[in-house]
Chain A
Amino acid sequence: MIQQIDYFVIAPPLVLALAAGLVLLLDAFLPARRRAIIAERPGPSLPSRSGTATGLGLVTLAGILVALGFVVAQALGGGSPRSTFCVPPGLAGSGTLCSFVADGFTLVFAGMVLVAAVVIVLMSMTELAGGAIPVGEWYFLLLCTLVGAVTLPASRDLIMLVVALELVSLPVFALTALKRYDGRSSEAAVKLFVVSVVSTAIMLFGVSLLYGIAGSVYLSRLREVFGGQAMDLPAVVTVGVVLVVAGFAFKIAAVPFHSWAADVYQGAPVPVAALLSVISKAAGFAGLILVLVTALSGQAGTWAPIVAILSALTMTAGNLLAMRQRSAVRLLAWSSVAQSGYILAPLAVAATAPGAVGTSMAYLVIYAAMNLGAFAVVMLVSRAATRNELDDYRGLALRRPAAGVTLAFCLVCLAGLPPGLAGLFAKVFVFREIVGGGAGWLAVVMAVNTVIGLYYYAVWTARLFTPAGRPEPSPYRPPLTAWLAVGLALAAAVLFSVAPQLVLDLTSLSASG
């Protein structure tokens, strides 16, 4: 039987994959001579090389924008969700079983990932201008990660989910290690690799248990099996559920799988850290939501308390660890762990509160904007001050008002204070959802955590405005791309501050899908 494939539906990942191949080819067909020269004498040939780098960056950017265009076209197309890779009607039995569905949930996640990817590519162009990192490999790996991140929210069977998740993770190890001259980078890559592989193994074991019980890998079929009479199910279901949750907990750096975050973020190039904190994390949440809410909603009695406890522990651990950090990237790493806890919190009541998934996503979208803004400025500063400690930010707002004010705004957003209204409203959404869902204790834990978070965000923000004791380390003129990245993230954060309803409208679409 011939399976019909709807190429329009799979266009976004397809375009990204083609762009990845194209980048690799372009890189391969560059004259090898020039590379040899670069290896010997990096200085004089920099212009031509940076020309190549910019070219590859633009190809990548174009690929992402075309994919984004397809996502927008699918969203505007409206109608019922399109799907492909379906089991032919004759074999499916009751209902349709599809592996790839482009509904509201998919489109919101894919759109967010792709917009974040634009910012990250712009940041990459700044990072790669340094000339020490192989450009072709970088963009190829980046695009591969994006293919995974766009496929993952569309996946509706366990196998595709795992494959997509691995597609997100594997290129990131290599991306982390691409700073080959930096030992810390290699260490980070190994650490990431080991933790990731262990968590994948755990998750695969859980998935195999679920498959063994249900006899199907399709999420909709799993939902029927596990949603039915709970009495008939063997106790091993609980083990399967716990193992799957644990696997995803690694991706989102939830406790107890959080310890890799700071070392990896610090060791990796800054754009990769941004990628990890936004795209990789979004993919993890998409997977978690699909498995828990779509497939295992009948088992909420098992996973809801686990998720609630994980959420409370994650936000507390992240905030406490962030308080003592002196390095900007490490602080952002722990802060992003804490933010994971806030995003996770509504999922704890997802079984009883219908809007919970939408709330989590709203927080995730707002978090992506404000975190990318912070990373974009950190990126700028890291070019001039390689140690990138909080003290290097002293007086930033006076030296570079645009960068300083942007970082201040993003930090205030992350803290959740006016005028950073986006962060405040995001937290209020979450508060309302968990109080409404009956998890009052979680709301109290979150409130205490918000106060702890205020401390380190406020201390960093205050540093931006205190006059610097020493002169600027070295005069560095950031390229246009760096400012574009900063501007894009800031524009999103400001937009969400003024009209958070946009995010709510967007994500409520996804919740229904």
Chain B
Amino acid sequence: MMGWIPVALLAVPLLGALLLLLAPRTFRGVLPAYGLIFSGVTLALSLALLALYDYGGPARMRFELDLPWIPGLGLRLHLGVDGVSLPLIVLTALLTFLCFVYLCWGRARATGGFMSARPRALVFTLLVLEVGMIGTFLALDLLLFFVFFEIVLIPMYFLIGVWGGEGRRAASIKFILYTLLGSVVMLLGLLLVWAQTGTLDIEALTAAHGAGMPRSVQILAFVAIGIGLAVKTPMWPLHTWLPDAHTEAPTVGSVLLAGVLLKMGTYGFARIAIPVLPEGAAAVAPWLGAFAVVGIVYGALACLAQRDLKRMIAYSSVGHMGFVLLGFATLTPVGVNGALFANVAHGLITGLLFFLAGAVKERYHTSEMPALGGGMLATMPRLGSMLTFASIASLGLPGLAGFWGEMLALFGAFQPANGLPRGLFLTYMVIGGLGAVLTAAYFLVMLSRVTHGRPRDSAERHESPDERPIAVSLAPSDVRGYELAAWTPLVILILLFGLWPGLLLSLTTPPVQALLGALS
């Protein structure tokens, strides 16, 4: 019943990509609208999913589809949706659609930006990327999950490598090699699970709660799968690809990278690593928590040292993902719920931040904070306010979406699952709390540098060595209509989840309790 919606979610963007491949010249004039339509239909389908989702009832998969694909391997085309994946699917569809909105009417199209360079390839890449991202969140088969997880890499590689900034080549190669190595390790872990249990079905494995796998195997498999996911998340110290990739990626690439791709790593923890390998998770959780808090503090300190706006936001992702991992490491419903909440919130907020950073870069032709020169609130009040809003949301102001997830993750660390060392996790909580303070510090420093202060007058700007001459001749204009259209939904959702966190938590709570069944 209703199994067709997940299939359609994958089929629509795939169809869009294939049509572009088969009839390259047909859609030349209407490319932006073409992408908009296909991603729009996908968004509508995901909203239909949201509307038809059965909110009451026990924790189980909805909209399931289970067809044999390769019987010889036991690989099935098994798709399904539950409270953990539903928000992420909608988030993916929404962000992709907003990226197309941004591209469709973007000035970038007119002035030799990236929409004019190979627009067909760009639309194709984004649609394939969407297939991979949604597929990852839908897959309920280990190998199928891996396939979608990997499919994402290649379009993202091209997004960075073809439409990126000046150092794009090195950044894209670093990105792909790093994540490929992680993936191979993850594949080995998945095959180990398969060899031990004889099934690839995530639902069955979750229900078994690790039965049939000795503790040592579970630990080994958890570490292998965890490394693959941690590269993608990224967890300190496997994060070094992220700042380069973000800095060089085009705006839409950064938005999708931060908004969705990082979530695939954390989603893997929630969907596969923790429920399938509970004993392994319990054994590795203290380590995971340690890496997570180091990531929080490291990310915050690195942010304080950054001069480049995009790079700073990239490092802030390392910190925020640290909170998510800390939530998972507690292995409690509260912590995991917090992690999943922080996941979605980070997708919304950081997506918005990268949109804004892209807009800033487009106007000033640089994202170096000293070169921006301050006073944005005076020169471009709307953009400045947007940036202020997103930054405050990101630093975790109560009442905005960023707050709840991190608060719950820290709260989970206050009372971790039975069998985990409480003293250690209390320490993590304290360090994580300090990290949250540091987060506030660097965002406020950034705001004081960029949005506050006295704007430089144009003569002064002319003398500045950092400034490109073009910025002098063109007075940057404030937020435009299409930008507002792309950003407003994110702003509304950030407010909505901040004021009414129960909306999301009620969705994730039942499945989380089922996933943690063996532990709590």
CA distance A462 to B180 in the complex (A): 14
The answer to whether A500 and B158 touch across the interface, beta carbons within 8 angstroms, is no
CA distance A360 to B232 in the complex (A): 33
In B152-204, which residues have CB < 8 Å from any A CB? 154, 158, 161-162, 169, 173, 176-177, 180-181, 183-184, 188, 191, 194-195
Assess A501 versus B154: contact at CB under 8 Å? Given A436-B195, A451-B181. Answer: no
- A428 at interface (Cβ–Cβ under 8 A)? yes
Contacts of A435 in B (CB 8 A): 191, 195
The answer to whether A501 and B70 touch across the interface, beta carbons within 8 angstroms, is yes
The answer to whether A431 and B161 touch across the interface, beta carbons within 8 angstroms, is no
The answer to whether B195 and A501 touch across the interface, beta carbons within 8 angstroms, is no
Assess A421 versus B147: contact at CB under 8 Å? Given A500-B70, A501-B70, A501-B72. Answer: yes
Contacts of A454 in B (CB 8 A): 180-181, 184
The answer to whether A428 and B147 touch across the interface, beta carbons within 8 angstroms, is no
Contacts of A504 in B (CB 8 A): 70, 72-73
- A21 at interface (Cβ–Cβ under 8 A)? no
In A369-404, which residues have CB < 8 Å from any B CB? none
CB closest chain-A residue, reference B169: A466
Assess A458 versus B195: contact at CB under 8 Å? Given A419-B151, A465-B161, A501-B71. Answer: no
Q: List 7 A-B contacts (CB under 8 A).
A: A412-B154, A418-B148, A435-B191, A447-B188, A454-B184, A458-B176, A458-B180
Interface residues of B (CB under 8 A from A): 69-73, 75, 143, 146-148, 150-151, 154, 158, 161-162, 169, 173, 176-177, 180-181, 183-184, 188, 191, 194-195
In A17-39, which residues have CB < 8 Å from any B CB? none
CA distance A458 to B181 in the complex (A): 12
CA distance A465 to B176 in the complex (A): 14
CA distance A417 to B176 in the complex (A): 12
- A14 at interface (Cβ–Cβ under 8 A)? no
The answer to whether B143 and A458 touch across the interface, beta carbons within 8 angstroms, is no
Assess A418 versus B147: contact at CB under 8 Å? Given A466-B169, A501-B71, A501-B72. Answer: yes
Known: A429-B73, A465-B162. 5 other contacts (CB 8 A): A418-B147, A425-B70, A450-B184, A454-B184, A501-B72
CA distance A462 to B157 in the complex (A): 9
The answer to whether A451 and B184 touch across the interface, beta carbons within 8 angstroms, is yes
The answer to whether A432 and B188 touch across the interface, beta carbons within 8 angstroms, is no
Contacts of B184 in A (CB 8 A): 447, 450-451, 454
The answer to whether B143 and A428 touch across the interface, beta carbons within 8 angstroms, is yes
CA distance A462 to B154 in the complex (A): 10
- A424 at interface (Cβ–Cβ under 8 A)? yes
The answer to whether A432 and B150 touch across the interface, beta carbons within 8 angstroms, is no
Interface residues of A (CB under 8 A from B): 412, 417-419, 421, 424-425, 428-429, 431-432, 435-436, 447, 450-451, 454-455, 458, 462, 465-466, 499-501, 504-505, 508
CA distance A419 to B147 in the complex (A): 8
CB closest chain-B residue, reference A417: B150
CA distance A80 to B183 in the complex (A): 46
The answer to whether A465 and B73 touch across the interface, beta carbons within 8 angstroms, is no
The answer to whether B73 and A428 touch across the interface, beta carbons within 8 angstroms, is yes
CA distance A424 to B148 in the complex (A): 13
Contacts of A505 in B (CB 8 A): 72
B109: shortest Cβ distance to chain A, in Å?
Answer: 21
Contacts of A428 in B (CB 8 A): 73, 143, 191
Assess A432 versus B151: contact at CB under 8 Å? Given A450-B184, A451-B184, A465-B162. Answer: no
Assess A425 versus B73: contact at CB under 8 Å? Given A447-B184, A451-B181. Answer: yes
CB closest chain-A residue, reference B68: A501
CB closest chain-A residue, reference B147: A418
Contacts of A447 in B (CB 8 A): 184, 188
CA distance A428 to B141 in the complex (A): 15
The answer to whether A432 and B195 touch across the interface, beta carbons within 8 angstroms, is yes
Q: Identify the interface centre among B73, B75, B161, B169: most chain A CB within 10 Å of its CB.
A: B73
CA distance A163 to B162 in the complex (A): 54
The answer to whether A418 and B150 touch across the interface, beta carbons within 8 angstroms, is yes
List of 8 A-B pairs having minimum Cβ-Cβ separation, nearest first:
A504-B72, A418-B150, A418-B147, A435-B195, A501-B70, A418-B151, A451-B184, A447-B188
B7: shortest Cβ distance to chain A, in Å?
Answer: 15
The answer to whether B177 and A458 touch across the interface, beta carbons within 8 angstroms, is yes
Contacts of B181 in A (CB 8 A): 451, 454
Contacts of A421 in B (CB 8 A): 147
B33: shortest Cβ distance to chain A, in Å?
Answer: 23
CA distance A466 to B164 in the complex (A): 13
